[in-house]
Amino acid sequence: MNQQDMYLLEAWNQGYRISPTGQIIGLTGPIKGNINQGYRRFSVSIKENGVRISHRIKVSHLQAYQKFGHALFQNGILVRHLNGNPLDDSWDNIAIGTQSENQMDRLAEERQQHALHAASYLRKYSNEIIEQLFQDRKLGLTYKQLTVKYGIAKSQLSFIFNKASYKLSLK
């Protein structure tokens, strides 16, 4: 259990709760919270070494704790928003699972865009170069001509032209 989990448990022990609709219930009733890094959060004052310190708690994590208990703290488990909206912390939208399951909660098109973005960091050539290669190929340049023009090996050109992720990144 990490430090954030300890703060979450302290918030629970102090009486903070999340309603089925995702409303934060504080010690004296509903509280607003805020949005930080794309997630709804609220602050909890926790006494540490005789000093009160404010800590931010994700609303989704407290909702998940209410729903799944300590299973939330298992290694490799994270909170999932089933509809892909990180601002919807309602009971029916919160689940726990693995990173892989979390990725599958996204729409297929969104997953594809995310994968293309991640793959772009592994590429040797920029999207601009790839786009120029495809344009030159459409104009009728041969692999040999492209090899001379760009200094890219024929095998690498073949890989670029036949790999679906290169074609999709140009859309």
Q: How confident is the model at residue 161 (pLDDT cuts 50, 70, 90)?
A: confident
Three-state DSSP at 125 gives coil
Q: Contact at 8 Å (CB) between 168 and 116?
A: yes
CA 170 to chain centre: 23
Amino acid at 56: R
Give per-residue pLDDT as tens, 24-70: 999 899 999 999 999 999 999 988 888 999 999 999 999 999 999 99
Residue where a domain terminates, one of 105, 128, 147: 105
pLDDT > 70? residue 170: no
Question: How many C-beta atoms surround the C-beta of residue 79 within 10 A?
Answer: 23
Three-state DSSP at 85 gives coil
Domain that holds residue 137: 109-169
157/118 same-domain check? yes
61/77 same-domain check? yes
22/76 same-domain check? yes
Overall average pLDDT of the 132-142 stretch:
94
Give per-residue pLDDT as tens, 69-124: 999 999 999 999 998 899 999 999 999 999 989 888 888 888 888 887 787 777 78
Q: How confident is the model at residue 166 (pLDDT cuts 50, 70, 90)?
A: low
Residue where a domain terminates, one of 105, 129, 151: 105
Give the C-alpha separation, 87 to 104, whole Å: 18
The pTM for the full model equals 0.68
Per-residue pLDDT at 122: 73
140/164 same-domain check? yes
Number of domain units in the chain: 2
Residue where a domain terminates, one of 105, 135, 161: 105
**Domain with 72 in it: what CATH number?**
3.90.75.20
78/19 same-domain check? yes
Q: Are strands 51-58 and 94-97 parallel, antiparallel or unpaired?
A: unpaired
Label residue 148 exposed, middle or buried (CB < 10 Å: 0-12, 13-18, 19+).
exposed
